[in-house]
Amino acid sequence: MRKVDPAKHAAKRQAILDAAVGCFAEKGFEKTTTADICRAAGISSGSLFHYFPTKRAVFVAIFAEDGERTAGFLAEAAKAEDPLAALFDVVDRLSADVAEPILVRLVLEVAAQAARDEEFAALIRRNEAATRDGLQVLVQRAADAGLIDASIPPLSAANWITALMDALISRANMDPELDVAAERAMLKVILTRFLRPDSAVSAPGGAQMPQTGGISPE
């Protein structure tokens, strides 16, 4: 029996996924065929089915692996000496996809497929929850180190960070002429001002913001 080279197997599998990303972004999940993926990857249908049993399996694998990669660099970021620098590095990496039109278009297809496929939707929710949790850890560490406003609940901060990145992706979808580099830089400015350590955080009208999540102001 011929032995399988794990490195070559992984590289071929990744090449199929990379080719499929372009197909799904261009034609959508429903209109993309396995023949499209084979043509883009330069392989036969038999080779495709050796790695993935169905078109859906290819689509799901793209986001399962993306979630694993994100979890990996979030775990590394959590161990960084400077949690605030690590937080901004994570934001930079997570927002990098906005510079890739194919990946921006793929986001729309994710939403459409999640509405049709509850199992896939659950995968996306797990990925999003893992990202939020990783950001929350970094916010908490930065607050504990006195680098950001400790009165900001880490979970709320993590939710707003992900919401701002989602908004950037939405804008990129709506405006193909968007200056992505400038908008990513502005995202960092917004987050810096949002997280800066102020002595008090007030709501509109001067009312004191409620403290939640067990975090007390310094």
Q: Where are the domains of the chain?
A: 59-197
Inter-residue contact 149 to 201 (CB < 8 Å): yes
Looking at residue 108, its pLDDT comes to 87
59-197: CATH homologous superfamily? Tetracycline Repressor, domain 2 (1.10.357.10)
Q: Mark the ranges of the chain whose per-residue pLDDT is less than 70.
A: 1-2, 4, 198-218
pLDDT value for 1: 52
3-state secondary structure 136-147: HHHHHHHHHCCC
Eight-state DSSP code of residue 129: H
* Amino acid at site 160: W
C-alpha to C-alpha distances, 120 to 63, 123, 156, 212, nearest whole angstrom = 9, 5, 26, 33
User: What letter would DSSP give residue 32?
Assistant: -
DSSP 171-190: HHHH-TT--HHHHHHHHHHH
User: What local confidence, expressed as pLDDT, does residue 168 receive?
Assistant: 93
pLDDT digits (tens, 9 = 90+) for 122-165: 999 999 999 999 999 999 999 999 999 999 999 999 999 999 99
Determine the Cα–Cα distance for residues 43 and 64; give it in Å rounded to an integer.
22
| Predicted TM-score (pTM) of this structure | 0.83
